[in-house]
Amino acid sequence: MRTFTLSEAQTMLPVLESLLKRAQTAARLAAQVDGELQDLSQRIFLYGGMHVDIAAVARRRGQREKAVQEAKDTLAEIDAIGVQVKDLDTGLLDFPFQLEDRVVLLCWKQGESAITHWHTMEDGFAGRKPLDERFTRGEKLQ
C-alpha cells in the first residue's frame, strides 16, 4: 500500500477532484438512464404493453453502458494512484499516511479547501480528528 505525505496529498487534490467529478457525472448519468428504463418498464407493465421506440431505448442503454464504464475507469485511475474513494456521491477520499508505527488515513471530503482531518482504518469517517503537528513533521510548511 502506497503512503502519502501530507504535502503530496494536498498537491494531488486538484487532479483528484477533477477525476472525482468525472466519475460522479458518469455515475449520475447511468443512474438517470436506469430510472428512465425502470419507468418505461413500469409503464409497459401497467398498460399491458405499448409502442416503444426500440432504437431510442437501445441508444439510451448504450449511453448508460458508456457512462458506467467511464465511472469504473475513472475510479480505477484514482485507485491506481493509491487513493481510496470511500463515497463517490459525497466525494470522500482517503490517503494512506504512515503515522509513527501504523498506517492511518488522511481524510478529505469534496468541498473542503484542504486536507484537515484524519482517522484510523477502523474508525472511518465517523472517527475523523483534526490534523496535529505529527502530520507535518519533517515537511516544510508553505
Q: What pLDDT was estimated at residue 139?
A: 62
pLDDT digits (tens, 9 = 90+) for 47-84: 776 778 889 899 999 999 999 999 999 999 999 999 99
- Give the chain's domain count: 1
Q: Which domain holds residue 59?
A: 1-142
Amino acid 138 reads G
pLDDT digits (tens, 9 = 90+) for 4-33: 999 999 999 999 999 999 999 999 999 999
Name the percent of the chain lying above pLDDT 70.
96
Name the percent of the chain lying above pLDDT 90.
77
Confidence of residue 1 (pLDDT cuts 50, 70, 90): confident
Q: Where in 6-100 does DSSP place strands (E)?
A: 84-87, 92-99
Amino acid 126 reads A
